[in-house]
Structures are given as C-alpha cells and as structure tokens.
Amino acid sequence: MHNDASYFDWPVYGLSEAEKSLLLADNLKNLTIHHAENCPEYQRILSASNYSFKNHVEIANIPFIPVRLFKQHKLMSIPAEEVFKTLTSSGTTSQQVSQIILDRDTATAQTKALVLILQQFLGKKRLPMLIIDHPSVIKNKVSFSARGAGILGLSNFGRDHTYALNDDMSPNIEAIQTFMEKHQNERVFIFGFTFMIWKYFFQTLKDTQHSLHFQDAILIHSGGWKKLIDEAVDNTVFKSSLQEAFNIQSIHNFYGMVEQVGSIFMECEHGYLHTPAFADILIRDAQNWSILPVSSKGLVQVLSILPNSYPGHSLLTEDIGELIYVDNCPCGRKGKAFLIHGRIAKAELRGCSDTHAAEAGNNSNER
C-alpha cells in the first residue's frame, strides 16, 4: 500500500481537531488493513485482541500496540528486498534497541513531513546551522542511531553545518567562534539534544572568557528530560539559562520518537507541544484504556499516517501526558496542545539525551 500523500497539502496547524480527526481516521484505518495483510505478527496481535474492521472508524478505535514491541520484534510490512534503511533507537549498552524498517516511500514521507513542520518555525530559507554534537555520530549511513538520524534529518534545514563539539564531547571553541564571526549578521539555527546542550555546551562555556553572544538564533532541541530533571533543570530553567548566557531568545523543544520519525510535536511560544496535520495523540487511562479529557494525566498514544513499511501508525508509549488545549492554544495553532510529564515508573530510559546521560554516568563510575 502507498498512502494517499495528498495529506501533505493539509495546513500543518490549520485544521481543527474535528476536521483532522475525520481525515486521519480514514488514513489510519487503511494503514491498519495494510499492515494486517502484510505483517504476520501484527495480524496475530489483532486476531488475539478480536479486533474487527468496520466501515466507519474513529481515531479512538484504531488499535494500538506497545512501542516497546519494536525492541522485541522486527516488525515490517514490506518484502525484504524493499528495505531501504533501518533506524535504531537510542539505548544504553545493556538495553535492547528498537529496529525500525523503512522503505524509500516511508523515508521520503518522513522527510517531507519534517520539512513541512519545521518550516513553520524556521521558515523556508536554509539557515547557517550549528550542531551541538560531534561529527562522528553520523558515520554509519546504513544503520542510523536515533541520534544520527535526528541530526541528519534536521540538517536539511541548515547550511554551513558546523559541529560544536569534538569527538570527546569537549567544545570546539575555534569552530564555534569561526561560525559566529562568519554569520554574525544572520539568523542562525542551533540544533542538539537536550542533555548534550546543557552538559557540554552551556555548563562548559557559560563561565569561560569566550564571548558567545548570538545576535539572532533559534535553538531546537529534543531527547528527554529525565537526567536534567534529576538535576532540578526543567524547561523554564533551561530556556532562561541559555537566554542569559548566550542570548538565544527563541528556544523550542520537540517530542518525537524513532518509531514515528517525521511526526514530531513541536513546542510553541507558550511552551505547549502541538500535533501537526499528519499525526495526533490520545491520552489514555492506564487502568481501563479510556480516552481522558483535557487536564487529565495519562499514557500517551501517538498516531501517525506516515509509517507504511512497518506497523507503527498507532503506538502506546510509556510517557505520561496531559492534554491542555484543543484548537484554542494562545499561540493560535489549531489541533491539540499538550505537555509530557515524564515516564511511567520502571520504564526503560528513552531519548538520545537520557540514554547518553546514563551511559556517560556509567562510564564515569567505572573510571
């Protein structure tokens, strides 16, 4: 099956939730049928849960599978000869990682969706890009880690890509200063994973004699907050610290996962994560799986119409979320706006930031 890609013509944040739900439901239903016909493991899951296909389906009725299944099984809905790329999730050395099988159509759809979402924040013009990481992280171009895939995906929005860190995660002062001098009168795009930005960029450079005062910069970051929350650094502290130290005035977090690359949920100017046209979320009660209303905390189900090569279109995460607005966020974007409040107890670490922080801590302890 190849999804009807007309959804790329939908306004990214311009559809009301009611309008979007109708459009998404048809696409998600077709994806469910496609994966049931082409992925035997997925078909067995649906059979075991007595799921039946109906003519009319609402988003809430689309069956979901636990996101951690991709760590335990190699789920795919395409012949082996059509495999184009395998993405893996971030993980500590002791963890199993998710394997996400992509064909060319799915990879292309992911890239196109990401472009349409980020253009809402970055504009259509490629900006000089400073990457808060080291260049070796993207060496393996056949099997990407989530970290490498994230960097390469976001690199499409930048030019003059400059890595701010050396391979040992120390700041490359010369490269950073050269970048800033070269683009001192331009708007620049800074990207990195949350923990790396805090640990290796902010904490290392905030009190040095090096003057890193950006005139016009937008910072986009992601990757998990657990390690920083442990250090009493929340989103507010993170933003204010970077604004004060480096004059970075525009800072946006995003929520996303390797199991649904492309369908990211960007943080708006008021601090809320937003569902784009191609994706949605539901907040479910962990006791009975019912859909929870605004201002209730529960497990986050993520839905995306991009996954064609693997059954990842409806996933139950281990993250706790809270729906805040539906079509009425103060930023003006329609659709759902929500917050993530961490992960359920005893859930494995996820995200490039948190898994890297755990590994860094283990290595430090070993020394």
pLDDT greater than 80 at residue 305: yes
Give the rounded percent of residues in the chain with a pLDDT score beyond 70: 89
- pLDDT for position 348: 59
pLDDT greater than 80 at residue 138: no
pLDDT confidence bin for 365, thresholds 50/70/90: very low
- pLDDT for position 364: 45
From 222, 156, 228, 164, select the one nearest 193 (Cα to Cα): 222
| This prediction's pTM | 0.88
- Separation in Å, CA 186 to CA 125, 129, 182: 12, 11, 9
Contact 258, 252 (CB under 8 A): no
- pLDDT for position 345: 74
42 or 349: which carries more pLDDT confidence?
42
User: C-alpha dihedral over 206, 208, 210, 215, to 10 degrees?
Assistant: 20
Q: What is the mean pLDDT of residues 116-140?
A: 90
- pLDDT for position 357: 56
pLDDT greater than 70 at residue 181: yes
Contact 148, 88 (CB under 8 A): no
Give the rounded percent of residues in the chain with a pLDDT score beyond 90: 69
- The Cα–Cα gap between 78 and 308 comes to 8
- The span from the first CA to the last CA of the chain, in angstroms, equals 52
pLDDT tens column, 254-289: 999 989 988 899 999 999 999 999 999 999 999 999
Distance from CA of residue 250 to its chain's centroid? 19
- pLDDT for position 207: 75
Query: Which residue type, as a one-letter code, is found at position 317?
Result: T
- pLDDT for position 243: 95
Q: Which residues contact 347 (CB under 8 A, 6 or more apart)?
A: 318
A 10 A CB-CB count for 13 gives 19
Residue carrying the six token digits 């190699």: 74
Average pLDDT value over all residues in the chain: 88
| Residues 176, 179, 180: CA angle, nearest 5 degrees | 85
